[in-house]
C-alpha cells in the first residue's frame, strides 16, 4: 500500500465514513477509493478536496505533516467568518460524537447526510444522539433550524461535589418555574443589552411597576440582572440592566428536550456503570 493510500484509509476511518461516502463527497466511485487504499494514487486535482474532507493539510496526506489537531482546528476556524465558523464547529462536534460512540450509529445513509448537517434543513423532525458513559456524557440535537451539542468530561470526583448546594439550584429552577419570571426572561433576551425601566417591562408584560420590581428583585438576587435607581425631575426611576447570561439559553434548550414529545432518538448509548450523581 502506498503512503497516500495508507493516509486516506486512516483519515477515512477517523472520520467514520465508508469508501462509498468518501467517493460521493469528492465525486469519484467507490472503486476509485478502494484502488487508492490498495496502493493507487489519486489525481493531483483531487488532493485539495480530500484534504478538506479530512480536515488535514495536503502534506498530511503524504505522511509528511501530522499536525496538532487542536491547533489546526483553531487555525481553520479563526480564518472563517463567524457564521461559517459556528457551522463548521458544529460539524466537528458531530465527528467527535461519532468517535466517542465508536460508530454505534449504523444508519450509513444518515451518517453520509450528516457529513454536512445542513442536509437536515428540509427535515421536519428533531433528532437526538445521547450517551451516558463512565468517561462522560454527551448529547447532540439536530432540528430543522436548531442544532447544538453538549459534552461533559467525567469529573475526577463525583459530579455532585462539583455542583453548588441543592438549595441554590432549587432557587434557579424556581425562577424558570414561575410563569411571570419566565415571561420577563423571554422579554429580556429579546432586547439589546441596554438599561430598561420597570414601566417599560410592565408595558410589554402587562405587570404593574410594583409587580415588576418584586420580580426583578428575584432576578437580581440570581445575578441575571442589575438594579439601578435614577433620580429624575419626576421622582425616582428604577432601571434594570439584564445580563446576557449565556447559560440561560442552553438551560431553556435542555428543558425543551425534556418537554418535547415528538422527536427521534437516533442513538441512545447507556453503558454507564457509575452513579449519575
Q: What is the CATH number of the domain that holds 225?
A: 1.10.10.10
Please state whether beta strands 235-242 and 225-232 pair in parallel, antiparallel, or not at all (unpaired).
Answer: antiparallel
Residue 41: give its domain's CATH number: 1.10.260.40
18 and 55 belong to one structural domain: yes
Give residue-wise pLDDT tens across range 53-83: 887 888 888 877 655 667 777 877 888 899 8
Residue 250 belongs to a domain? no
Predicted local confidence at residue 68, as pLDDT: 60
The model's pTM: 0.67
137 and 264 belong to one structural domain: yes
Predicted local confidence at residue 22, as pLDDT: 92
29 and 59 belong to one structural domain: yes
Residue 247 belongs to a domain? no
Residue 197 belongs to a domain? yes
Predicted local confidence at residue 69, as pLDDT: 67
Three cell numbers at 30?
Answer: 467507490
143 and 266 belong to one structural domain: yes
- Residue where one domain finishes, among candidates 45, 67, 89: 67
CA distances from 1 to 5, 11, 43, 123, 164 (A): 6, 15, 16, 41, 56
144 and 265 belong to one structural domain: yes
Predicted local confidence at residue 61, as pLDDT: 85
Predicted local confidence at residue 33, as pLDDT: 92
14 and 143 belong to one structural domain: no
Alpha helices in the chain (DSSP H): 3-15, 19-26, 30-37, 47-54, 58-61, 69-78, 82-100, 108-114, 159-162, 166-177, 179-188, 198-205, 209-221, 248-259
Give residue-wise pLDDT tens across range 210-257: 899 899 999 998 888 889 888 888 888 888 988 766 788 899 999 998
Number of domains in the chain: 3
Rounded to an integer, the average pLDDT of 185-209 is: 86
91 and 148 belong to one structural domain: yes
Residue 135 belongs to a domain? yes
137 and 172 belong to one structural domain: no
Residue 276 belongs to a domain? no
103 and 228 belong to one structural domain: no
Where in the sequence is the domain holding 117, given as residue range(s)?
Answer: 81-156+260-270
- Residue 50, CB half-sphere, CA atoms under 13 Å: how many? 26
Report percent pLDDT > 70 for the chain: 87
Predicted local confidence at residue 173, as pLDDT: 92
179 and 47 belong to one structural domain: no
Amino acid at each position: 500500500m502506498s503512503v497516500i493510500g495508507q493516509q486516506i484509509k486512516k483519515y477515512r476511518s477517523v472520520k467514520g465514513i465508508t469508501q462509498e461516502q468518501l467517493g460521493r463527497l469528492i465525486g469519484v466511485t467507490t472503486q476509485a477509493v478502494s484502488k487508492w487504499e490498495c496502493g493507487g494514487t489519486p489525481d493531483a486535482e483531487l488532493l485539495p478536496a480530500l484534504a478538506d474532507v479530512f480536515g488535514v493539510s495536503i502534506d498530511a496526506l503524504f505522511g509528511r505533516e501530522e499536525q496538532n489537531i487542536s491547533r489546526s482546528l483553531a487555525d481553520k476556524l479563526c480564518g472563517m467568518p463567524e457564521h461559517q465558523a459556528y457551522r463548521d464547529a458544529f460539524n466537528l462536534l458531530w465527528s467527535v460524537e461519532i468517535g466517542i460512540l465508536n460508530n454505534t450509529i449504523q444508519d450509513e445513509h444518515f451518517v453520509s447526510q450528516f457529513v454536512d448537517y445542513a442536509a437536515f434543513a428540509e427535515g421536519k423532525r428533531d433528532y437526538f444522539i445521547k450517551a451516558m458513559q463512565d468517561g462522560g456524557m454527551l448529547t447532540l440535537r439536530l432540528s430543522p433550524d436548531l442544532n447544538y451539542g453538549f459534552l461533559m468530561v467525567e469529573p475526577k470526583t463525583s459530579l455532585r461535589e462539583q455542583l453548588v448546594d441543592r438549595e441554590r439550584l432549587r432557587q434557579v429552577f424556581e425562577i424558570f418555574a414561575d410563569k411571570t419570571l419566565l415571561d420577563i426572561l423571554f422579554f429580556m433576551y429579546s432586547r439589546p443589552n441596554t438599561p430598561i425601566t420597570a414601566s417599560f417591562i410592565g408595558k410589554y408584560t402587562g405587570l404593574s411597576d410594583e409587580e415588576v420590581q418584586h420580580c426583578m428583585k428575584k432576578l437580581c438576587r440570581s445575578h441575571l440582572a442589575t438594579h439601578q435607581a435614577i433620580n429624575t425631575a419626576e421622582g425616582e426611576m428604577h432601571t434594570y440592566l439584564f445580563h446576557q447570561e449565556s447559560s440561560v439559553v442552553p438551560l431553556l434548550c435542555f428543558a425543551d428536550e425534556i418537554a418535547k414529545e415528538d422527536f427521534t432518538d437516533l442513538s441512545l448509548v447507556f453503558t454507564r456503570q457509575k452513579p449519575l450523581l
